[in-house]
Amino acid sequence: MRIFSVWYLVLAVIISNGFVSNGVTTNVSKNSNITIPSVIHIGAILSYESLVSKVAKVAIDAAIEDVNSDPTILNGATIQVVKQDTNFSGFLGIVEALKFMEQDTVAIIGPQGAEIAHVISHIANELQTPLLSFSVADPTLSPLQFPFFVRATQNDLFQMAAIADMVEFYEWREVIAIYVDDEHGRNGITALGDQLAEKRCKISYKAPLKNFPTKDDITDLLVKVALTESRIIVLHVYSSYGLKVFETAKALGMMGTGYVWIATTWLANILESNPTLGLTERQRNSMDGALALRIHTPDSKQKKNFYSRWSELTSKIPPENRVELNTYGLYAYDSVWLLARGLDSFFKQGGKISFSNDSRLQKLESGELNLDSMSIFDEGDKLLENILKVNMTGLTGPYAFDSKRNLINPAYDILNVVGTGTRKIGYWTNYSGLSVVSPEITYLKPPNRSIANQNLHDAIWPGQTSQRPRGWVFPNNGRHLRIGVPNRVSYREFESPIKGTDMFTGYCIDVFTAALNLLPYAVPYKLQPFGDGVTNPNPTELVRMITAGVYDAAIGDIAIITNRTRMADFTQPYIESGLVVVAPVRKMNSNAWAFLKPFTKEMWFITALFFLIIGAVVWILEHRLNDDFRGPPRKQLVTILWFSFSTLFFSHRENTVSTLGRLVLIIWLFVVLIINSSYTASLTSILTVQQLASPIKGIESLISGDDPIGYQQGSFAKNYLIEEYNIKPSRLISLNSQDDYAKALHDGPGKKGGVAAVVDERAYVEVFLSTHCDYSIVGQEFTKAGWGFAFPRDSPLAIDMSTAILKLSENGDLQRIHDKWLTRSACISQGTKFEVDRLQLKSFWGLFMICGLACFLALLIYFIQMVRQFSKRNTEELQTSGRSFQSRTVQTFLSFVDEKEDESKNQGRSKRRNSEIASSNRVINSNRGGGGGGQDDAAATNGPKQTFVESSSKSADNFDNV
């Protein structure tokens, strides 16, 4: 009983909330034996006096007629619809809905409004009756909470995504939302806020409008809107009083230049029905220049035929109530066909229309409400499943549901209200965003959401201008911007107050004023000093004052660093100013050993080593061929050394004859040329340019040491050195003025309490060095930062000021302001150079690598050739002498390599000749030993032969000598 009491209480609360609803009655016969009844009863919940319902009633009747006359669907069964009027009453609408649900009905077309849909969806869930709405686009009607609610139109989530894309396309940042204060308005604007957040935009002001507002209500609301900064207004209301908002805005001057009005789909429906509504000239003029969205429907033949048929369908309606077809009418027509096709599939699957009583409602003492008479559709979930599976082509184009139960291919036309009509400036699809190409063509191409692919035609804005509105202005409340300026003690060239006035002067002030003068609008402001005038203020604290609301902006020498960007938005930097190290320096004079300074020790060593290596390699390659590289060992050593170092001046006397030797020498001479030229240039610079030296080489020297380090009071340098380089806070000494810098650097680390170096921003250091010649920047700039003006987060003024600063940079004004305040006569001449830029080995390692590789390859090729020649000669000797291979082959090989190539060849030929002679003698001796009495004859016979061999040998010797 406790559960039933809770249910009764829920229904009572629903009634007491006053939501709009309608009841529908049908006369379905409960005969479970009939699979397809002859008459199928459905309901429709409408608000007859609204524009949407006037069109929907006609479209629903036309769809019912077409379905009933089509023999291919429902097997000849007839759909009968019963329509109920909510009469714009929430309470009566709920009562009618409860009575309507007492009748056995299979589905309901409607309701028209989101607030009624939220209430009736609870009833539809309980009684398992599908609820098909052709006009409720509320994105919060989730299928998880309301499974029997079927959104038969496009989800408002996509409309708000289209508006967000438009805001991003036109480079606006903030919008104002005027909306009706109910489920339809609130939930739609919530979706808009979510979509804008994804684009890093936002709703700066929400202006809710109550239902059925009076002219005074609208006026009061628009006056509040006019006092805000943003001029981009999204109007999400009902058509019944949307025109009143435009008329009132026109009267208040809010439809002039600078304003942007974006109306949701309600305005397009009014304009489509305009011929019969008879809009006055005043109403048309009031919306001139506004943008409106309309759900896109393809121009199909089916749609054109229905438009042609519309005049016939409305012929019986009195002229004063006659309306033209709009998009909601097309969706109302398709929703009936959606239900019909779902029912057809339901019956084909064996579904039956049967109802059973709700046991929980039967036990409920409902009194006059007769809640216990309500019935549950037994197979309502099966019908719902078939409805969601329908895939058809209707008047609105392809009609089917995706996995999230939204209609496929969401698309919108973007209209521009101009004069007495509208012009289409583009389309939006969830597929590729903004485009001037129709969605039917867009969906045939690959999706492309890139910025370059987002396009719209030019629009005519309020005030009859084609120039895109900036989107915001300063609020017309008479208040000046409160701008904080650091009240510095030192470096007053950047900003300093003028005594006796509330004005400031300095480099930063001039940049700000020049940028402000480039803005296309006036900016009322008042500069307010920040700081006590005794110590330099902390810029981070000044930026924090913006977030606290003390200041509306901050200008001056404010570095753009990470923790400050988390609190405010900064403009484009107008001066670069990273951290540098300043240290005392001394002049370096030339000495007797200045000629050694161009190269580092490593460079000298490697260069000398390569001179020796090249000499040795060339000697090896030329030794067997070239007499210049032969002789006693002492002479050869001298030749190697002389040849190596004489190449430095290209004065070597020895000629190279081998191909490999010449190749190595050419490469080495090229290396020598580069080294010689580099040495000459570096030495010239050392001897002609004044040099400076310092024991501090840069930030690395400070990190590795323990000496105290100075920094400017209030600068971010202290935290940076502690957090990024882990320098102990005890080593950091705060300095307040330029004189403090000079004294601390002069005293140095030690008992006097000075510092080894000062870390500060380059802009300050350049001013300091212009009057202090004993110090200099050492090392490289180790941070990259700049100064900018700070504004509140998402302030459009920051963007406009950044554009103005870029213009100052492009036209040269920024440099002229810099020269006016910061250029001083440098006490150190431009020819002065800090220390010596010595030539490092890393600058030449490529040349040395190429030269070394050439030497290695040449030696490898030479060694292979020697091994082949030696092997060939050694094999011939072994075959001739018949001796075995000896262990002294290595020594023999070295002797072979040391021989001159001509001698080696002669020795080989002599050995071959001696071998031939010995072989011939063996033959002769064997012939002589053949018989005793025939020896003289043999000798006589062999005499000429021996003479011939000896003669041949002499001839061979003579040829070799030649």
Any idea which of 396-405, 490-499, 740-749, 939-948 has the lowest mean pLDDT?
939-948
User: pLDDT: is 676 or 12 the higher one?
Assistant: 676
pLDDT at 693 over 90: no
**In the chain, what are the domain boundaries?**
39-153+302-361+370-400, 156-297+411-453, 481-577+786-822, 594-688, 692-778
Fold of 156-297+411-453: Rossmann fold (3.40.50)
Decide: helix, strand or coil at residue 399. strand
pLDDT at 305 over 90: yes
Summarised one tens digit per residue, pLDDT across range 82-130 is 888 887 665 665 666 666 666 778 999 988 888 888 888 888 898 899 9
pLDDT at 876 over 70: no
Residue type, 311: S
| 962 CB-near residues (< 8 Å, 6+ apart) | none
Q: Across the chain, how many H-helices and E-strands are there? A: 32, 34
- Where helices occur in 199-299 by DSSP H, the ranges are 215-226, 239-251, 265-272, 274-277, 281-286
* % of the chain surpassing 70 pLDDT: 78
The pLDDT value given to residue 95: 66
Between CA 718 and CA 536 the distance in angstroms is: 14
| Residue closest to 776 by CA, chosen among 707, 692, 705 | 692
H or E element at residue 346: helix 327-348
The length of the chain, given as a count of residues: 962
User: pLDDT: is 805 or 944 the higher one?
Assistant: 805
Buried b (16+ CB within 10 A) or exposed e, 144-179: eebbbbbbbbbbbbbbbbbbbbbbbbbebbbbbbbb
| 282 CB-near residues (< 8 Å, 6+ apart) | 247
The pLDDT value given to residue 9: 35
| 37 CB-near residues (< 8 Å, 6+ apart) | 28, 29, 31, 77, 353
Q: What are phi and psi of 573, to 5 degrees?
A: -60, 135
The Cα angle at residue 278 between residues 291 and 288, in degrees rounded to 5: 25
Beta-strand relationship, 569-570 and 790-791: antiparallel
pLDDT at 45 over 80: yes
pLDDT at 839 over 90: no
Asked if 430 contacts 408 with a C-beta cutoff of 8 angstroms, the reply is no
The pLDDT value given to residue 891: 67
Give the CA-trace dihedral at 222, 224, 227, 232, to 10 degrees: -50
Any idea which of 43-52, 72-81, 297-306, 839-848 has the lowest mean pLDDT?
839-848
pLDDT at 594 over 80: no
Could you check whether the bond before residue 111 is cis, i.e. omega within 30 degrees of 0? yes
Separation in Å, CA 916 to CA 254, 792, 905, 909: 123, 108, 17, 11
| 605 CB-near residues (< 8 Å, 6+ apart) | none
pLDDT at 940 over 50: no
User: pLDDT: is 272 or 484 the higher one?
Assistant: 484
Any idea which of 285-294, 312-321, 771-780, 926-935 has the lowest mean pLDDT?
926-935
Residue type, 709: I
The pLDDT value given to residue 233: 97
Q: For 827-847, give the DSSP string.
A: SS-TT-EES--PBPGGGTHHH
How confident is the model over 417-442, as a mean pLDDT? 93
The pLDDT value given to residue 607: 81
Between CA 807 and CA 813 the distance in angstroms is: 9
In this structure, what token pair is assigned to residue 107? 């589905």
Strands (DSSP E) contained in 535-663 are 553-554, 569-570, 575-576, 579-584, 586-588
pLDDT at 478 over 70: no
Any idea which of 195-204, 851-860, 909-918 has the lowest mean pLDDT?
909-918
Q: Please provide the average confidence, as pLDDT, over all residues in the chain.
A: 82
| Residue closest to 189 by CA, chosen among 179, 198, 197 | 179
Topology match between the domains 156-297+411-453 and 481-577+786-822: no
Decide: helix, strand or coil at residue 154. coil
Between CA 265 and CA 156 the distance in angstroms is: 10
The pLDDT value given to residue 961: 36
The pLDDT value given to residue 841: 74
Asked if 641 contacts 654 with a C-beta cutoff of 8 angstroms, the reply is no
10 Å CB burial of residue 798 (0-12, 13-18, 19+) is buried
pLDDT at 831 over 50: no
Q: How many CB atoms lie within 10 A of CB 596?
A: 13
Residue type, 889: T
Any idea which of 10-14, 74-78, 420-424, 886-890 has the lowest mean pLDDT?
10-14
pLDDT at 532 over 80: yes
Separation in Å, CA 652 to CA 526, 547, 640, 642, 669: 81, 78, 11, 8, 11
User: pLDDT: is 663 or 804 the higher one?
Assistant: 804
The pLDDT value given to residue 627: 66
For the structural domain made of 481-577+786-822, what CATH number should be given?
3.40.190.10
Q: How many CB atoms lie within 10 A of CB 893?
A: 15
pLDDT at 287 over 70: yes
Residue type, 933: G
User: pLDDT: is 610 or 902 the higher one?
Assistant: 610
Q: How far is CA 41 from the centre of its chain?
A: 56
In this structure, what token pair is assigned to residue 782? 């180790």
How confident is the model over 536-553, as a mean pLDDT? 94
pLDDT at 859 over 90: no
Summarised one tens digit per residue, pLDDT across range 774-798 is 888 888 888 888 999 999 988 888 9
| Residue closest to 599 by CA, chosen among 664, 521, 693, 681 | 681
Q: How many CB atoms lie within 10 A of CB 755?
A: 27
Decide: helix, strand or coil at residue 177. strand
- Name the architecture of domain 39-153+302-361+370-400: 3-Layer(aba) Sandwich (3.40)
How confident is the model over 569-597, as a mean pLDDT? 80
Decide: helix, strand or coil at residue 776. strand
User: pLDDT: is 634 or 795 the higher one?
Assistant: 795
In this structure, what token pair is assigned to residue 489? 């003690």
| 677 CB-near residues (< 8 Å, 6+ apart) | none
Query: What are the residues facing 230 on neighbouring strands?
Result: 472
User: pLDDT: is 941 or 154 the higher one?
Assistant: 154
- Classify residue 131 as left (phi > 0), alpha (psi -120 to 50) or beta: beta
H or E element at residue 662: helix 659-688
In this structure, what token pair is assigned to residue 235? 């109007």
| 152 CB-near residues (< 8 Å, 6+ apart) | 132, 133, 134, 331, 334, 335, 338, 407
Any idea which of 53-62, 406-415, 882-891 has the lowest mean pLDDT?
882-891
pLDDT at 184 over 50: yes
DSSP code of 477? S
Strands (DSSP E) contained in 589-742 are 691-693, 709-712, 732-735
Q: What are phi and psi of 108, to 5 degrees?
A: -130, 130
Asked if 328 contacts 135 with a C-beta cutoff of 8 angstroms, the reply is yes
Between CA 571 and CA 584 the distance in angstroms is: 36
How confident is the model over 747-770, as a mean pLDDT? 89
Decide: helix, strand or coil at residue 875. helix
The pLDDT value given to residue 935: 41
Query: Which class is 692-778 in CATH?
Result: alpha beta
* % of the chain surpassing 90 pLDDT: 47
pLDDT at 951 over 50: no
* 804 pLDDT tier (thresholds 50, 70, 90): very high
Q: How far is CA 323 from the centre of its chain?
A: 49
User: pLDDT: is 493 or 670 the higher one?
Assistant: 493
The pLDDT value given to residue 614: 81
Between CA 798 and CA 776 the distance in angstroms is: 36
How confident is the model over 522-535, as a mean pLDDT? 90
* 828 pLDDT tier (thresholds 50, 70, 90): very low
Any idea which of 221-235, 561-575, 748-762, 904-918 has the lowest mean pLDDT?
904-918
Between CA 757 and CA 744 the distance in angstroms is: 8
How confident is the model over 925-953, as a mean pLDDT? 43
pLDDT at 346 over 80: yes
pLDDT at 945 over 60: no
Summarised one tens digit per residue, pLDDT across range 213-227 is 999 999 999 999 998
Query: What are the residues facing 426 on neighbouring strands?
Result: 414
